[in-house]
Structures are given as structure tokens and as C-alpha cells.
Structure 1
């Protein structure tokens, strides 16, 4: 998903799922910025499942539930290509699964590991651990847009997309405090990932790099 870090800690701003940029090797997040996770209403901690999540909670796929104040706006259009659409779907599920792991304070949560492997999974583990260490989770609305997906000759998929964190913040579990910050250019992040279809038919993310403040994602 993650993508967001408690702003009290410079280490979080630098770590964020191994803190690698688009020019680096495999991560689950970007490397800078004070304005991070998920904005908005601090109304409830009860889990919420979207229609798309319910539809995929079949077979071996994990059921993904996040607190009701963790919301998303995926502006990813259907491509009409069933393979590309499957890539987008499973990438979305990975994002949600990381937020669930954060909410449940479990760096080794099976849901995000179902949708990621290798460097991407390791990056997510480090990222989630930062939230656990500081007893924080995400809250608010995160928007995803500007997606581009292509299938390569070796069978892997390349996916890039933008994330708008301007309405997303961090919530500290001990106090319930939400760390509301002002939106800046660093509230917008571009991601570039590599996915591979595994033996279960799931498009798992193997590598995910990011760059905060990218001109390609600015409003």
C-alpha cells in the first residue's frame, strides 16, 4: 500500500518500507515526506469490507478487513483485457492487505504476504513494523489514479500508479490522536512495480519502488 508513516519520527519518514526510490531496487514505499497516511474521520475501529473484497474472499484468498475509517478511492479503470484487469485487482488487494496488517499490528500478516513476495514482501514487513514499533495505524482516505499496466514477454507485469495522501494521516493507538498535516507536493507518490502470476493464479508483487513528490502525480 501501503505509504504512510507516523510523522513524529524521522526514522519512519526515511524507512517507509525500506525507503527506496524509483531508481533503487524493490521496496513497498517511498523515501520522504511528513504528510503521510490516511486522512479523515476517526469514527470507528471496526473492520470494513468492500464489495470487491467480499467477492474475492473465496477459495484460498484471504478476507481483507480494515477499520471503517480507513477508506480508498481507486480510480483505476477496467482495461477490457482480463489479464491486465487481474493485475490491477490483485495490486489493489495488496494495498488493502498492508493496511489490514498495520491495523492489526502484525508485520508478518498472511494477507499481504499472499499478494507479495521477495523484496516487496520484505519492504512491507519493515514498513508495517514501523507502525507496530510506534503503536500507530492509518486513518482516512487514500486515492489511487494514473495507473498504467503492461504485460511483458517474460510473463511478468509492469504496473505504475499514483497515490494521493493529502487526506490520509496516522493515528496513534494509545491516545487516539490523529496526526493531521497540511498537503504538500510530497503528498503525491508515484509507484512502479513488477508482478508475477504464481501457481495459485494470483498476481503477486515482487518489486515495488516509489518516488514522493513526483511531478507526474501532482494535481
Structure 2
């Protein structure tokens, strides 16, 4: 099974709108098989104990997010000191983690990712997770997120661009536990550009996502 990215619906977001940010892209890779979310290592067991993050997910009203111990996300997104920008980064992290959890739980309608998305992004994420369910697979391994850039717009809007290193992240067959280890190449680095808006609950929800695999901006 190959690395995946979110379905085509994510590409409805024009490059122009997203390129307001320095380095970003969609966090999924599309193939005939489920798009892959960034971050998997060598996870060898479906029974690995879950690990909860002491992040925004612990806040009142927010869904709890727990990932299997073999899925590790590293966010090299230092705080900016700007309240809105830091909130965008925090809620975007939770969206990424919630999507990983939905795949691990094989739950295309998981409430957590729906809490952090709206519109096209909710539909695209559902399709993305459903693709994994169809192929009885999930992600495993380590994913690193870096080179973030947030731009706050008017009327509660924002864009976020970031890179993802999938070099140590893979797909795993749930039934057999077999990990599809693919060699690291330029395609292991993905650029994402996301559009967000602040909803009535004060959450920065992702509404659109655009990805570019092998982007020169994300190469080591």
C-alpha cells in the first residue's frame, strides 16, 4: 500500500488562496488505496496501548484524542506569541491528530475530526478515512510537521502552510500487522496549505486543504 493524501475534494482550494502561506499543503496522498495521513513508523501491533496528548484536546468541550502508541506526531511549530496564530496552530494540530485517530479506530464519522473541520474538509476527511477502512489498513510510525506559516485574514479567516516528513511513516495492514515500508525519497516530503475560519465556538476549523507531494520547499 502506498503513501496517501486526502481525496481530490481538497484540491478544490485554489493554489492562489493557499500560497499566501510560506510552506503548506494537503496532508494526504491519493492513490487507489486510502490516502495516508502523515506520521507512521513501524507500528507492529494493533493492540499497542493508546497514548493521550496533554494538548488542547483536554480542554472542556473538546473531544478527547488518543492515538495508538505506535503513531507519533512531532510538531516543530514554535509559538508565535500572537494569540490568534497560536490558536490556529493548536487547533490544526488537533485536526491532524483527530484524523489519525479516526483512521486507527476505522471510524469514518468520528466526532473528533468533525469537531475540527467544516464543509469540504469534513467530506474529504470522511472519504479519506473510509478509504483506509475499505482496505483494512491504518497508519503507523513517526511523522514530523515543520516550516509552519500562519496568516490571519479578515472576518475570522486564516491560512496555514506547513511541511510534513513521512520518511518514517507507513501504512499497515490491520489483519496481518504487516507494515509497508517504502524507501525515503523526495516524495516523502509533503507541502500543505490549509484554509481555516473561527467558528461560533471559537475553534479554528479547517475548511479546505491543498497538498503538494515532493515540494522543493519541504526537502531536507
What is the rounded CA distance, in whole Å, between the counterparts of 1:18 and 1:60 in structure 2? 31
Give deviations 1:22-76, integer Å, cap 9, x for gaps.
Answer: 7569976344699965223425522111222xx5323210000010000011000
Q: Give 3-state SS (helix, strand or coil) of 2:98's partner.
A: helix
What is the rounded CA distance, in whole Å, between the counterparts of 1:78 and 1:109 in structure 2? 29
Which TM-score applies when normalising by structure 1? 0.86
Stretches of structure 2 that go unaligned for 5 or more consecutive residues are: 19-25
How far residue 173 of structure 1 moved from its aligned partner, in angstroms, is 0.7
CA RMSD of aligned residues (A): 2.5
Give deviations 1:153-195, integer Å, cap 9, x for gaps.
Answer: 2320110000000000011111010111101111100000111
How has the CA–CA distance of structure 1 residues 56 and 174 changed in structure 2, closer, same or farther, with 3 Å as cutoff? closer
What is the rounded CA distance, in whole Å, between the counterparts of 2:216 and 2:91 in structure 1? 26
How far residue 206 of structure 1 moved from its aligned partner, in angstroms, is 0.5
Give deviations 1:85-129, integer Å, cap 9, x for gaps.
Answer: 000000000000000000100111100000001111111111101
Question: 2:41 aligns to what?
Answer: 39
- The yes-or-no answer on 1:68 pairing with 2:69 is yes
What is the rounded CA distance, in whole Å, between the counterparts of 1:126 and 1:33 in structure 2? 12
Question: 1:18 aligns to what?
Answer: 8
Question: 1:56 aligns to what?
Answer: 57
Asked if structure 2 preserves the Cα contact closer than 8 Å seen for 1:76 and 1:146, the reply is yes
